[in-house]
């Protein structure tokens, strides 16, 4: 590893070479074979355009819009575009945030702070809602009421209604859920919340920029946006299906009054009066300018075409799953996710490794309650040209998976893990476990055994183990000079 603070500065050419070299260890962000983390429209020149726009505004500070009106203008343009796409009207307002998690934290904060009289404000979510709501509840000390979804993996309106109490400040639905890619019954949920006088947030972080286009293409999807009565806020990540570089999401509120408690203001110190609409204070204009460039370059017609490619890719991948003996679709592929489960005799985690060995990087999802472990594919437009190659590789991967049998863990390791509790996890223990599982060398291509172990242990232990492992990875590098 290079020295981040060398004695003497290093030439730009050398540094760029080093960074390029580092990036070679990463999963491929282009090429339509990575089904999580990245969103690729595969449009020639778009990266270069976004980078140039980013560079123009990289040093602009969002802290003070009177000092940098360019940023305010770009933010208002993005919020306006999102409002028009997502059923807003002249009353709609919003904020540009750094990502989906921040948008959700702020939706929860606005709801919490609109009810300052409550000692224990509560948040009602379906069990398929994104983990960021748990994080928001944790950060903001809001109690979390998790309601099991129905057999169709969608929020159950009756059960959600029953979970609402006088202390509930916000009810949530997903459009669609990340794990399974299915849309909750937003109109019914929003009506239930409205009847009880409670705010209702639609988490369209994932799908907010593709669902409207899929609907235009004729997809059979329920109404999910601000046009639905009772929806008080909605979030959409521009760094997902708007294909902007990372660091931009939008939170829309139906009215300015609903947004107001989202703001933080503080004049009680000797420095500048701080008025922050979002979590960060100083922030770069780079991601915002890059998002503006991306939206303007692709345009509405472009997004419709990208949604068409995405839809084609989803159909091709879903058909491959349906036609392959040993795997099955776990959720209806109604939006831009293909989620598959394995039949007995096919270990889902081994399958994920076998797919990776064939160049398809998928996202394994652990079992949860009654739900089995699954493989998640986030499908973007870049997948369309490669999708037809998937069927043959999936079939071969399933055969190889059957041949290999379930992931084998050394019996003593399994036994030891079975006796662990979260309180027992120490850095030493995690380091030993990582070594025993072959993770010491930084090679994460054979993950079936690790995933099986993590899947077998209770969620709280999984959290503790992975926290320990991440902490193990995050060690300052030693000086090389």
Q: List interacting residues with ligand PLP (CB under 6 A).
A: 99-101, 104, 130, 132, 174, 178, 203, 205-206, 237, 249
Kindly tell me which of 211 and 384 has the beta carbon lying closer to ligand PLP: 211
Contacts of 40 (CB under 8 A, 6+ apart): 29, 30, 31, 32, 243, 380, 381, 382
61: nearest Cα among 292, 270, 264, 276: 276
Kindly tell me which of 204 and 387 has the beta carbon lying closer to ligand PLP: 204
User: Please, what is the minimum distance in Å from the beta carbon of residue 249 to ligand PLP?
Assistant: 6
418: nearest Cα among 451, 447, 456, 452: 456
Contacts of 474 (CB under 8 A, 6+ apart): none
User: Please, what is the minimum distance in Å from the beta carbon of residue 103 to ligand PLP?
Assistant: 7
- Classify residue 243 as left (phi > 0), alpha (psi -120 to 50) or beta: left
Q: Which strand (E) or helix (H) includes residue 317? A: helix 286-323
User: Please, what is the minimum distance in Å from the beta carbon of residue 338 to ligand PLP?
Assistant: 15
352: nearest Cα among 389, 327, 385: 327
Kindly tell me which of 123 and 457 has the beta carbon lying closer to ligand PLP: 123
Rounded to the nearest 10 degrees, how much is the dihedral formed by the CA atoms of 182, 185, 187, 191? -140
Token look-up 């983990």 returns 131
Kindly tell me which of 173 and 433 has the beta carbon lying closer to ligand PLP: 173
User: Please, what is the minimum distance in Å from the beta carbon of residue 240 to ligand PLP?
Assistant: 6
State the Cα–Cα distance between residues 348 and 321, nearest whole angstrom. 13
Kindly tell me which of 246 and 462 has the beta carbon lying closer to ligand PLP: 246
User: Please, what is the minimum distance in Å from the beta carbon of residue 205 to ligand PLP?
Assistant: 4
User: Please, what is the minimum distance in Å from the beta carbon of residue 466 to ligand PLP?
Assistant: 17
User: Please, what is the minimum distance in Å from the beta carbon of residue 132 to ligand PLP?
Assistant: 5
Looking only at the bridges linking them, the beta strands covering 143-147 and 327-329 are unpaired
Kindly tell me which of 179 and 461 has the beta carbon lying closer to ligand PLP: 179
Kindly tell me which of 100 and 212 has the beta carbon lying closer to ligand PLP: 100
Kindly tell me which of 188 and 376 has the beta carbon lying closer to ligand PLP: 376
State the Cα–Cα distance between residues 448 and 99, nearest whole angstrom. 30
User: Please, what is the minimum distance in Å from the beta carbon of residue 232 to ligand PLP?
Assistant: 17
Q: Where are the alpha helices (DSSP H) in 164-269?
A: 186-195, 211-216, 256-259
Contacts of 360 (CB under 8 A, 6+ apart): 33, 35, 390, 393, 394, 397
State the Cα–Cα distance between residues 363 and 34, nearest whole angstrom. 9
Which residue has the closest beta carbon to ligand PLP? 100
Buried b (16+ CB within 10 A) or exposed e, 268-292: eeeeeeeebbbbeeebbbbbbbbbb
User: Please, what is the minimum distance in Å from the beta carbon of residue 273 to ligand PLP?
Assistant: 29
User: Please, what is the minimum distance in Å from the beta carbon of residue 97 to ligand PLP?
Assistant: 9
477, two tokens: 């590098």
Strand order through the sheet with 327-329: 327-329, 337-342, 374-378, 363-365
250: nearest Cα among 301, 312, 202: 202
Kindly tell me which of 247 and 320 has the beta carbon lying closer to ligand PLP: 247
User: Please, what is the minimum distance in Å from the beta carbon of residue 100 to ligand PLP?
Assistant: 2
Kindly tell me which of 99 and 212 has the beta carbon lying closer to ligand PLP: 99
Kindly tell me which of 249 and 401 has the beta carbon lying closer to ligand PLP: 249
């Amino acid at each position: 590893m290079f020295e981040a603070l060398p004695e003497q500065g290093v030439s730009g050419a050398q540094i760029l070479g080093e960074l390029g070299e580092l990036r070679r260890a990463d999963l491929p962000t282009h090429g339509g074979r990575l089904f999580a983390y990245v969103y690729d429209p595969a449009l020639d020149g778009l990266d270069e355009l976004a980078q140039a726009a980013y560079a123009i505004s990289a040093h602009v500070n969002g802290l003070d819009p009177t000092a940098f009106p360019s940023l305010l203008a770009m933010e208002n343009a993005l919020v306006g575009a999102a409002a028009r796409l997502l059923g807003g009207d002249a009353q709609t307002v919003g904020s540009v945030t750094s990502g989906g998690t921040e948008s959700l934290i702020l939706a929860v904060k606005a709801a919490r702070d609109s009810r300052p009289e409550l000692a224990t404000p509560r948040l009602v979510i379906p069990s398929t809602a994104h983990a960021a709501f748990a994080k928001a509840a944790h950060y903001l000390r809001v109690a979390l009421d998790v309601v099991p979804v129905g057999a169709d993996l969608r929020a159950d309106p009756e059960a959600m209604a029953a979970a609402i109490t006088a202390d509930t400040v916000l009810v949530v639905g997903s459009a669609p859920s990340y794990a399974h890619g299915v849309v909750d019954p937003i109109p019914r949920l929003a009506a239930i919340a409205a009847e009880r006088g409670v705010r209702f947030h639609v988490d369209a972080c994932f799908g907010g920029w593709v669902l409207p286009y899929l609907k235009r293409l004729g997809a059979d999807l329920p109404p999910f946006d601000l046009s639905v009565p009772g929806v008080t806020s909605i979030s959409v990540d521009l760094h997902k299906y708007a294909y902007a570089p990372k660091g931009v999401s939008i939170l829309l509120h139906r009215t300015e009054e609903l947004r107001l408690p989202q703001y933080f203001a503080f004049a009680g110190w000797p420095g500048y009066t701080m008025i922050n609409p979002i979590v960060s204070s100083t922030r770069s204009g780079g991601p915002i300018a890059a998002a503006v460039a991306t939206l303007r370059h692709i345009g509405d017609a472009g997004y419709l075409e990208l949604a068409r490619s995405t839809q084609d890719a989803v159909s091709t991948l879903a058909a491959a799953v349906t036609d392959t003996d040993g795997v099955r679709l776990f959720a209806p592929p109604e939006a831009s996710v293909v989620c598959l489960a394995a039949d007995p005799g096919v270990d889902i985690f081994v399958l994920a490794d076998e797919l990776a060995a064939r160049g398809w990087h998928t996202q394994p999802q652990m079992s949860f309650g009654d739900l089995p472990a699954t493989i998640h594919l986030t499908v973007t437009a870049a997948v369309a040209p490669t999708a037809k190659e998937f069927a043959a590789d999936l079939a071969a991967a399933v055969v190889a998976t059957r041949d290999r049998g379930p992931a084998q863990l050394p019996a003593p390791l399994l036994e030891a893990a079975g006796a662990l509790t979260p309180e027992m996890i120490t850095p030493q223990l995690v380091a030993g476990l990582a070594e025993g599982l072959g993770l010491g060398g930084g090679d994460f291509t054979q993950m079936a055994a690790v995933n099986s172990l993590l899947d077998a242990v209770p969620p709280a232990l999984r959290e503790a183990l992975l926290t320990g492992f991440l902490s193990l990875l995050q060690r300052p590098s030693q000086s090389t000079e």
